Structures are given as C-alpha cells and as structure tokens.
Amino acid sequence: MLSAADNEIMCRVGPGTAMGEVMRCYWLPLLYSWELKADGEPMRVRLLGENLVAFRDSSGHPGLVAESCPHRGASVFFGRNEENGLRCVYHGWKFDVSGACVDMPSEPAESNFKNKVRTKAYAAAEQGGIIWAYMGADQANPPALPEFEWCTIPEEQVHHAYKGIYECNWVQAMEGDIDSSHLYLLHARLNPEDPPNYGVYHNDKSPHLQLVDTDYGLYYGASREEEQSKTYWRTTQFLFPIFTMFPATEDGTVPSHMYTPIDDNLTMHWGLRWHPARPFTHERKLNQWIGKLPEQNGMGPMKETQLGRIFPNWWPVAEMGNDFLMDREVQRTMNFTGIPTIRLQDAAMITSMGSIIDRTREHVGTTDAMVIATRRKLIKAAQLLRDEGIMPPASRNPAAYRARSCSAVLPSGVSWIEAFADWHSGRTVVPPAEGQHIQIALT
C-alpha cells in the first residue's frame, strides 16, 4: 500500500512536479533515428507532458521545439522544414534546432526583433539508432548520454524489436518488468507437455527474491527450485529513471525495455535486445506480427497513421476497446490469458488498472519486494531533489549504465551475486552457466 501523496509524487511528470524534475535530469528515448529525415516532415510528439515538434534540419541535426510558435501560438507542426530551420507558416518566423529565430520576414528588414525572440527548444542527440531528448534546465551543459552496452557495440549485435504506446502511467507500465511472480502465471501455457510457443512453464510459481541496491537503481535475483539440488535464477535490473533489463537468455542475449513518460496517462514502451559478442543471424526488423499464440513477442501491428495525434504511427491495434484481441478458446485450451503476445498480455493488465492506479487500495505481498523497493527509491530521489537539490542516481554518471541481466541454473547454495558478478558488470562476454538447460526466457 502506498499513500495517495506518495503515489502523486511518483507518478506525475509534468513541468514543476517532483518526479518531472527527476526525469528532466536524464536523457530520454524519443524516436528511432529513421523516423526523422533531413528537411522531412516534422512530427508531433509529447514528452513529460509538454507538446513538442521534432524535426531533422538540412544538416541532419535532430531538433525538438515547443509546438506553439512564440509569435502568436500557432502550431509549428504545420511549418516548413527547410534550409536548416523550421518555419512557421503563419507569419514565416523560422527557428533553428537551438530555438534561435533566424528569420522573421513579417518584420521590416531593418528590424532586429528576431534577435530578441527564441522558442523553447530542448537538446536532442543520437546514439544506438535512437534520438534522445534532454529536457533539463542546463541545456548548455547536458549530461553525457548513458553508456548502455547496446549503444556501443556494432549495430548487427542489436535488435530493436518493438515500440508502441501504453494508455497508462509510466510507473505501472515499468513495474511489470520488475515483478517476477507473474511470469509463470500471466505468460504461462496450461500444460507443461505443450509446445513452448503456447507459453512458459515452471512448477515453482512463487519465487524467492533477493535485492541488491546500486548507485544506478536496483537489481534482484529471483530463485526457483529445480531438480537435483539446483536453483534456477532470473535477475532483473532497474536503472534510473525508466530503464529495465529483464533476464537474459542462456546464450547471453540481453533484453531491455524503456518506458518514456509521454505524460501522466500515456507511456511509450520500447523493446530491444543485444548480444555482447556476436551479431544476430536473423532479420533485425521491428516485430509487428500477431497470431493466436505468443511465439512472437511484440505489440502487434500499429493502426494506420493517426493524423492529428502525437507519435502518429505508434498506436497499437490491440487495445482495451477490442479486449487486446483476447481469444477465450485459446485461454481455455492453450494458455493462461488467450491474449496474443507477451507484451499484449502485459498491456492488458497494466491498462486495466486505469490511467493511474490507486495504490492506497493495493495489498502487496512478499513477491512484490522489488516493486516496493523501487517505489521507495523513486520517491526518495524526487524528494531529495526537490527539498535538498541532491541529483538523482547516475544522472551524471553515464558509465553506471554498463549493466546486464541473466538467467541461469546454479548448484543450490552457490551465491548468485558472486557467480553472476562479472556478467552483470560487463567484465566478460561468457554467459553464466553457459550450456546448461535454462527454462525459456522472455526475449
């Protein structure tokens, strides 16, 4: 259970809110690099409750500016992206990616008014095939971009698998990743002898969690007993403020999610995976396929371009209005939910909670330990920044993001923290317990 006041602190991300100020200390993923073309169409976006327009100028630099023109408030989405600037079509005022007004044809030639006018602009940068945004106050001196391993290795070793919008608050979206107990229930097949593409399966439905505090967030090991004195471990990372790494596969492929807060009620969900040492042999395209069974792990197809909306091409077909394409016959005979794909199973649960869940009504248990600890750490970070000006975890330490997760079977009694230490910190490319049988992981 969480107090109403703490729930407000944790969930609200708009300008001037405590958590919104925490978010503005970090670079946040906004768009894939390929979504913006030089002198191409601008895009309506929203980030941390602010309506913005993203574009790429003639020189290839990404820009992120306020949607409202500082002249008389018209939307610069309708503007002309030309000659290294975005020109409002109402009176022709033109702004570069820094927010400077570089042309003002509606004013007399001798006027210097354009030198006195700026539009709100935020820093934008690219790495790992993604455009990142920094909305903090120190626009002249933003922090270095986070050094995720997948941003530093050859692109052939990275698969950007899916992206889509969840119609709920970012915290409840993210909490699904740090909740190990739902894995072999929500995503399970009904019968262990059925094919793995019906869902995952494990006899032990109640994991034991051990948490480790870090300077960038938290991680945990969830243990389940195997036969012959062995323990199956799954480790999951939470990295401030919106990043998770859920358990890697036996061969060392590490999956990660990012939860960009669009506003208090909408979240952009990203899924990617990488291998530290070798390229993927299959196509590395976005997975937007959907069928009756969760053998493919994505958010399914997107709706046709949603004209007039933010992020117009990232609204999933599967939504609450069609019960996330649930099939009761599949639920009765094949898997626990009857909802296609693991991501959509998650989406149905977190969306069904409402836009922002009332956490004063929850009854959390022992397997919610990571969720509880993460909430406390988020709230504390917001309070320390607001009340004492203490910067949140790793906001100026890009190297802290060199982390991984794993899943492996160890002999019972072996310390998972010690056994996985080199892997978790990226000091080795050899996966823990490589070659041993591992239960199917969600990748």
Per residue in 129-170, pLDDT (tens digit) is 999 999 999 999 999 999 999 999 999 999 999 999 999 999
Q: How far is CA 401 from the centre of its chain?
A: 14
Q: Model pTM?
A: 0.94
Q: Is the pLDDT of residue 435 over 50?
A: no
The share of the chain scoring above pLDDT 70, in percent, equals: 96
Rounded to an integer, the average pLDDT of 311-325 is 97
Q: Give the angle 361-364-368 at the CA atoms, nearest 5°.
A: 140
Burial 49-69 (b: 16+ CB within 10 A, else e): bbebbbbbbeeebbbbbbbbb
Distance in angstroms (rounded) separating the CA atoms of residues 339 and 324: 7
Q: What is the pLDDT of residue 440?
A: 34
Which amino acid, one-letter code, is at 220?
Y
Confidence class for position 439, pLDDT limits 50, 70, 90: very low
Q: Is the pLDDT of residue 434 over 50?
A: no
The answer to whether the CB of 54 falls within 8 A of the CB of 61 is no
Q: Is the pLDDT of residue 442 over 50?
A: no
Confidence class for position 429, pLDDT limits 50, 70, 90: very high
Rounded to an integer, the average pLDDT of 396-415 is 94
Confidence class for position 297, pLDDT limits 50, 70, 90: confident
- Cα–Cα distance list, 107 to 65, 73, 101, 113, 116 (Å): 22, 17, 12, 8, 13
Q: Is the pLDDT of residue 267 over 50?
A: yes
Q: Nearest CA to 442 among 253, 285, 282?
A: 253
Q: What is the pLDDT of residue 94?
A: 98
Q: Where in the chain is the domain with CATH 2.102.10.10?
A: 27-134
Q: What is the pLDDT of residue 292?
A: 65
CA dihedral 61, 143, 422, 152 (to 10 degrees): 10
| Residues 6+ away with beta carbon under 8 Å from 234 | 180, 183, 207, 221, 222, 224, 246, 247, 406, 407, 441
Q: What is the pLDDT of residue 200?
A: 82
Q: Give the angle 173-175-181 at the CA atoms, nearest 5°.
A: 125
356 or 204, which is more confident? Answer: 356
The answer to whether the CB of 340 falls within 8 A of the CB of 300 is yes
Which amino acid, one-letter code, is at 419?
A
Confidence class for position 294, pLDDT limits 50, 70, 90: low
Q: Is the pLDDT of residue 382 over 70?
A: yes
Confidence class for position 182, pLDDT limits 50, 70, 90: confident
Q: What is the pLDDT of residue 289?
A: 79
Tokens of 219: 């991680």
Q: What architecture (CATH level 2) is domain 27-134? A: 3-layer Sandwich (2.102)
Which of 104-118, 175-189, 340-354 has the weakest average pLDDT? 175-189
Q: Is the pLDDT of residue 427 over 90?
A: yes
Q: What is the pLDDT of residue 293?
A: 64
Give the β-pairing of 62-66 and 80-81.
Answer: unpaired
Q: Is the pLDDT of residue 378 over 50?
A: yes
Rounded to an integer, the average pLDDT of 297-303 is 91
Q: How far is CA 227 from the centre of its chain?
A: 36
11 or 230, which is more confident? Answer: 11
Q: What is the pLDDT of residue 240?
A: 98
Query: What tens digit of pLDDT does each residue of 46-86 get?
Result: 999 999 999 999 999 999 999 999 999 999 999 999 999 99
Q: What is the pLDDT of residue 295?
A: 57
Distance in angstroms (rounded) separating the CA atoms of residues 394 and 408: 28
Q: How far apart are the first and last CA of the chain?
A: 31
Handedness of CA 11, 13, 14, 17 (dihedral sign): positive
Give the β-pairing of 121-127 and 243-245.
Answer: unpaired
Rounded to an integer, the average pLDDT of 85-109 is 96
Q: What is the pLDDT of residue 33?
A: 98
Angle between helices 369-388 and 4-11 (to 10 degrees): 80
Q: What is the pLDDT of residue 98?
A: 97
Which amino acid, one-letter code, is at 221?
G
Q: What average pLDDT does the chain have?
A: 93
197 or 55, which is more confident? Answer: 55
Query: What tens digit of pLDDT does each residue of 237-250 get?
Result: 999 999 999 998 88
Q: Is the pLDDT of residue 436 over 50?
A: no
Rounded to an integer, the average pLDDT of 167-196 is 90
Rounded to an integer, the average pLDDT of 425-437 is 74
Distance in angstroms (rounded) separating the CA atoms of residues 174 and 370: 12
Rounded to an integer, the average pLDDT of 164-192 is 91
The answer to whether the CB of 92 falls within 8 A of the CB of 106 is yes
